[in-house]
Amino acid sequence: MNDSFDELTARFLSWFKQLPGATFSDAIAIQDLRSRKAGRGIIALQDIAPDTVLFTIPRRSIINVETSALRARLPALFSDEGVSSHGAADDDDPSSSQLDSWSALILVLLYEHLQGAAGDSAWKPYLDVLPDTFATPMFWTPEELAALQASATVGKIGRESAENMFRGILLPAVRAHADVFAGSAALSDEQLVALAHRMGSTIMAYAFDLENDEGDEDEDEDGWVEDRDGKAMMGMVPMADILNADAEFNAHVNHGDDELTVTALRPIKAGEEILNYYGPHPNAELLRRYGYVTERHARYDVVEVPWTAVEAAAASTLGLAPDAWAKVRGVLDEDELEDTFVLERDCPEVTPEGTFPAAPAAAQFVALPGDLQEQLKEFLKAVRAVDPGLIPDKRKRDELQGAIVARVLAQLEAQYPTTLAQDEQLLLASDAVLGDKERMALVVRVGEKRLLQEARQFLEAAAQRGGGGDGTASPVKKARLE
């Protein structure tokens, strides 16, 4: 495609304004923000008052299973028998596997992309402004991934499982209907799988869940919903996905029956960027899903603590012999044990205007995960049942609990090849020294190391107070582990 960046933007904006029911305020404009490594964005041209409608998107303009012609052309693929909320595959016949909302939207977007290449998609001006490359770890080399060091993000990329789904479900569907998927016959399997990866990453980074006005059980108090389990209708929303996002934001997408409207949450000065909100994600998750990190999201950084690491630290701290260890396992109901726990800060919610609360309501580490404390306590009770001499009283148990967690934190820190001080010094390097991916990986691991340091300092302070490192239990936000 030889059209320039600005020409594609102008064509998309013209197309959008002509959609029946669409509006786009004269107070805003789409601008080229590549100098900020932000692609396109929307900027205020003049001061904007709160509650101003910035733009309106008619639901019929959204790309999803309901609006694409693919469903009408291949109804069997999207029948009740062919669409599942779980996406379970039939191991005996992958081509007949059920589609969840995730794989269904990938198939729809792949169809529309191919139609657009043939000049037959109604969404072509929109498809043309979607990216064709991504900075998400899904596309990183092993050497680039190594920069994430011990971050749990590396284990969540899911390239292999995605590729298995593409080859087992989507590729057979496309090959069986080459007449429907325009130009697909000329593409090799590898080219189609690469295109599916691109469509999947487009959806991960840009798609909206379209049923969050029904009071979804996963919705938080700010009305933000995130579903990647195939349970909600997902769609590509023209113009809404031009908005960039941050942890402090000034606009909100409102879901109506017939349209989505984007409104200003607070006064926006001329020249300010209009920012949406993706939710309280740690930088590691921002990188995995969207391919960027921001300073403001560092408050939401987390560190995952595997129970296996806790067990190993406990065995080492207690000096349990193998036979005693086996007896402890016999006392515990291992089916009831959690596999992973989340270290995180206590973060006050953003205000209704999309800003962080004023000090002293700062994000800070104030407690160990409550479920980790409870599970470790039950573990130590099991140890006492096997060998009462190891834990004669509650005071000793609390002391051991703090010592075990301290050892776990030290072991987690030791898994990173570089220290926090070394990484913070490296962050000061110029862009000429650090590439974009290396810098983002550095931001992720610095955030995790800072949190581990805060957790250690919390334990040390609790031990000095005689609290044994137990602290006050805080709820664990399981959604962070998606």
pLDDT score of 89 more than 50: no
Q: For strand 275-276 and strand 244-245, is the pairing parallel, antiparallel, or unpaired?
A: parallel
pLDDT score of 84 more than 60: no
Q: What is the pLDDT of residue 470?
A: 52
CA dihedral 31→32→37→38, nearest 10 degrees, is 30
Each residue's pLDDT tens digit, 9-66: 999 999 999 999 999 999 999 999 999 889 999 999 999 999 999 999 999 999 999 9
Closest Cα partner for 276 from 223, 227, 324? Answer: 223
Closest Cα partner for 249 from 284, 222, 287? Answer: 222
Q: How far is C-alpha 287 from the geometric centre of its chain's CA atoms?
A: 8
pLDDT score of 222 more than 50: no
Contacts of 76 (CB under 8 A, 6+ apart): 82
The arithmetic mean of pLDDT across residues 361-388, rounded, is 90
Residue 303 tokens, joined: 């560190």
User: pLDDT band at residue 328, thresholds of 50, 70 and 90?
Assistant: confident
Q: What is the pLDDT of residue 277?
A: 96
The arithmetic mean of pLDDT across residues 257-273, rounded, is 97
Q: What is the pLDDT of residue 481?
A: 39
Q: Looking at 386-466, which runs of residues are DSSP E strands?
A: none
Residue 223 tokens, joined: 């009305």
Better pLDDT: 164 or 93: 164
Q: What is the pLDDT of residue 361?
A: 66
| Long-range Cβ contacts of 239-242 (<8 Å, 24+ apart) | 239/16, 239/22, 239/24, 239/55, 239/57, 240/57, 240/208, 240/276, 241/206, 241/207, 241/208, 242/30, 242/40, 242/41, 242/42, 242/129
CA dihedral 339→343→348→350, nearest 10 degrees, is -70
Helix (H, G, I), strand (E, B) or coil at 267: coil
Residue 474 tokens, joined: 């805080």
Q: What is the pLDDT of residue 97?
A: 56
Which of the listed ranges 278-282, 324-328, 460-464 does the model predict with the highest average pLDDT? 278-282
CA dihedral 36→41→45→50, nearest 10 degrees, is -110
Q: What is the pLDDT of residue 478?
A: 38
Each residue's pLDDT tens digit, 163-205: 999 999 999 999 999 999 999 999 999 999 999 999 999 999 9
Contacts of 386 (CB under 8 A, 6+ apart): 324, 327, 328, 331
pLDDT score of 445 more than 90: yes
* Angular region, 51: left φ>0, alpha ψ -120 to 50, beta rest: left
Closest Cα partner for 301 from 271, 325, 280? Answer: 280
> Are residues 288 and 281 in contact, defined by beta-carbon separation less than 8 angstroms?
no
Q: Residue 145: what residue type? A: L
DSSP designation for 365: -
Q: What is the pLDDT of residue 256?
A: 93
Other Cβ atoms less than 10 A from the Cβ of 76: the count is: 8
156 φ/ψ angles, rounded to the nearest 5 degrees: -110, 5
Average pLDDT of the chain?
A: 87
Q: What is the pLDDT of residue 331?
A: 86
Helices 189-206 + 283-290 axis angle, to 10: 140
Residue 382 tokens, joined: 């099991």
Contacts of 420 (CB under 8 A, 6+ apart): 446, 449, 450, 453
User: pLDDT band at residue 467, thresholds of 50, 70 and 90?
Assistant: low
Q: What is the spatial distance between Cα 357 and Cα 351, in angstroms, rounded to a whole number? A: 6
**β-bridge partners, 343:** 303
pLDDT score of 457 more than 70: yes
DSSP designation for 475: -
Residues of the chain with pLDDT > 90: what percent? Answer: 71
Each residue's pLDDT tens digit, 411-444: 999 999 999 999 999 998 877 788 999 999 999 9
The arithmetic mean of pLDDT across residues 327-356, rounded, is 91
Q: What is the pLDDT of residue 197?
A: 95
pLDDT score of 406 more than 70: yes
pLDDT score of 297 more than 60: yes
Q: What is the spatial distance between Cα 300 and Cα 283, in angstroms, rounded to a whole number? A: 7
User: pLDDT band at residue 468, thresholds of 50, 70 and 90?
Assistant: low
> Are residues 282 and 295 in contact, defined by beta-carbon separation less than 8 angstroms?
no
User: pLDDT band at residue 232, thresholds of 50, 70 and 90?
Assistant: low
Q: What is the pLDDT of residue 149?
A: 97
DSSP for 313-342?
HHHHHHT--HHHHHHHHHHS-GGG--SEEE
Q: What is the spatial distance between Cα 194 and Cα 448, in angstroms, rounded to a whole number? A: 32
Q: What is the pLDDT of residue 82?
A: 46
Q: What is the spatial distance between Cα 6 and Cα 40, in angstroms, rounded to a whole number? A: 10
pLDDT score of 94 more than 60: no
- Rg of the chain's alpha carbons, rounded to an integer? 25
pLDDT score of 476 more than 90: no
Q: What is the pLDDT of residue 93?
A: 40
Better pLDDT: 85 or 407: 407
User: pLDDT band at residue 474, thresholds of 50, 70 and 90?
Assistant: very low
Which of the residue ranges 42-46, 91-95, 258-262, 350-354 would you say has the lowest mean pLDDT?
Answer: 91-95
Q: How many CA atoms lie within 13 A of 160 on its CB side?
A: 3
